[in-house]
Amino acid sequence: MAPVSFGTFRLIIIALAVFAQIYLFWRIRQAIRSSPGSGRRASLAVALCGALIGVLFAANWHIMYRPVPWPDPPTLAQAVFFYAPAIWSFGSIFSALLLLITQIIGGVVRAAARTYRRLVGPEMIAPASSGRRFFLKAGVGGLAAAPFLLSGYGAAYAGRNYVIEELALPFGCRVRVAQLTDIHAGIFMTRDRMRRYVDQIIALQPELFVLTGDYISNSTVFFPGFAEEMARVRTRYGTFATLGNHEHWYGEIGYYRRLFEQSGIHLLQNEHRLIPTTGGAFAVAGIDDLRWGRPDLEKALQGLEPAVPTLLLSHRPEIFPEAAGRHIALTLAGHYHGGQIKLSLPGGDFSLAHLRTPYPEGLYRIGFSQLYVSRGIGTTFTPIRLNAPPEVNLFHLT
């Protein structure tokens, strides 16, 4: 199957989201008008529900596509202005789909029941009890509410419940490397949360710290705080970074380079650094974002001896076949968040990332070359993670 393009993916999500708002409003309107009460009260309730759906939906899309320059908002403001619209918009898609499925199944069952009544006669059919009808309505209501509860769980708990992934990998030089990627500093990744991740990195005592892109969500106002937090990590061989698509969408390359340099972080844009150690030298190379930047692996490796063990930093993992062809020992990447919302099925894992790339997360090998794709720590589109927890990476290279 060919990977789904970013444009197609975005159109699918927008279409599903718009459909969900219309369909849920129609179902809520039906439920209100079928309940006992005056027509005026029912009309007012319908209008209020429609207004609330519209406000939540509009607020979420504004948050996603327009910068909200509010570093470290208070917890209550986060919950009301940011998390509530996000949970509604994500949960509404699956709630609408579940209700539509139950409606279709209910229609098929009712059609079958009518056919059966015509065949056997109405006197042979027991009348439906009010208790059974109440039970069915309660079941449908619970089914409709489940996606919102799951979304709330994904935002409030799973999105913060990170794991530390430690791997021992052959490399050709002994060095301990920590990686963070896809931080997405913004209203859902505050400086306080970044500080906790940096504290964890410091506790792991790496000898080399690498960052592989997407440092901000949708505004450069969050980048100085991000850079200051990352600068707290002091390692024997330094901190190296490369850029992701979000840096190309917002801001200028010169701006990021300047702040990285002020923070003591080396930005690698199609270049490398040779690092001497007591056990021999190794190289750290970095390339620009594969889609929105100007990646040049040839330039990044120019002048580097093939026998030198090389660690390649790339925001996107699709460089891996080319990197393996150049006998690069290890490539570190991110970008896909492990799908961010993932189903584990008998046939394997499934997420939107699995439709878009052959490298959604984890370890891959081609010959003696290795690729590790981290799920990262931040989120995009929605602050929800399900079955794809954030990860901090520590590599014991030998």
pLDDT for 122: 61
Domains and CATH numbers, the chain: 6-158 (no CATH), 164-397 (3.60.21.10)
pLDDT for 244: 97
335's enclosing H/E stretch is: none
pLDDT for 34: 80
pLDDT for 124: 56
pLDDT for 192: 92
pLDDT for 62: 85
pLDDT for 279: 87
63's enclosing H/E stretch is: helix 39-65
Q: What does the alpha-carbon distance between residue 334 and residue 370 come to, in Å, rounded to a whole number? A: 14
> Phi and psi (nearest 5°) for 9?
-60, -45
pLDDT for 283: 98
Q: Are strands 175-180 and 391-397 parallel, antiparallel or unpaired?
A: antiparallel
pLDDT for 385: 94
CB 146 within 8 A of CB 90: no
Q: Which residues does the chain have with pLDDT short of 50?
A: none
Nearest CA to 160 among 350, 353, 392?
392
Q: What does the alpha-carbon distance between residue 7 and residue 380 come to, in Å, rounded to a whole number? A: 15
> Phi and psi (nearest 5°) for 242?
-135, 165
Residues 6+ positions from 40 with CB-CB distance below 8 Å: none
pLDDT for 301: 97
Taking only the tens place, the pLDDT of each residue in 54-78 is 999 999 988 887 778 888 788 888 8
Tokens for 169? Answer: 């990998």
CB 157 within 8 A of CB 187: no
Our measurement of the distance from residue 312's CA atom to the centroid of its chain's CA atoms, rounded to an integer in Å, reads: 23
pLDDT for 12: 83
Residues 6+ positions from 141 with CB-CB distance below 8 Å: none
Task: Report if pTM > 0.75.
Answer: yes
Residue type, 163: V
Nearest CA to 260 among 231, 288, 280?
231
Tokens for 75? Answer: 């917890």
- What are the angstrom distances between the C-alpha of 379 and each of 160, 222, 237? 11, 15, 29
